[in-house]
Amino acid sequence: MNSFMKSMSAAASGMRAQGFRMRVVSENIANNDTPGYHRKMVSFDNEFNRQTGVNGVNVNKLSLDQSPLEKTYNPSHPMADETGNVEMSNVNLMVELADGREASRSYEANLAMFQQARRMYSGLLNILNR
């Protein structure tokens, strides 16, 4: 595998990882008002593929945020306990929006690297075809 293909493969793994992260962030935002919902968090790992010789990014673990759930007093809610409190989610919209923006920018950076490697490879092929 040539260096252009290795670069494109590494960028593609980064795009896959950040795409997964964006899906998790959007799921957290969608469940912001769901009682009992625990925020999901993603961790990544550097992975070396021995066959291709490419370093890439891999989703290591999807875990639940164990911080306490927000309690809201609403005795008429069907999930209220005996004191009238409902455990809502522990999703913080500002944190999720920041994570989503970071994932989006990382995805764009990997996409730009992929496109640049593709342009360089295409330019090399054009020079060799002359």
**What pLDDT tens digit does each residue of the chain (130 aa) get?**
678 788 888 999 999 999 999 999 999 999 999 999 999 999 999 988 888 888 889 899 999 999 999 999 999 989 999 999 999 999 999 999 999 999 999 999 999 999 998 898 888 888 888 8
CA distance readout (Å), 2 to 8, 47, 89:
10, 19, 48
CA distance readout (Å), 26 to 9, 30, 56, 81:
26, 6, 24, 29
User: If we measure between CA atoms, which residue out of 44, 57, 50, 53 comes closest to residue 12?
Assistant: 57
Cβ-based neighbours of 43, under 8 Å, separated by 6 or more: 59, 60, 61, 63
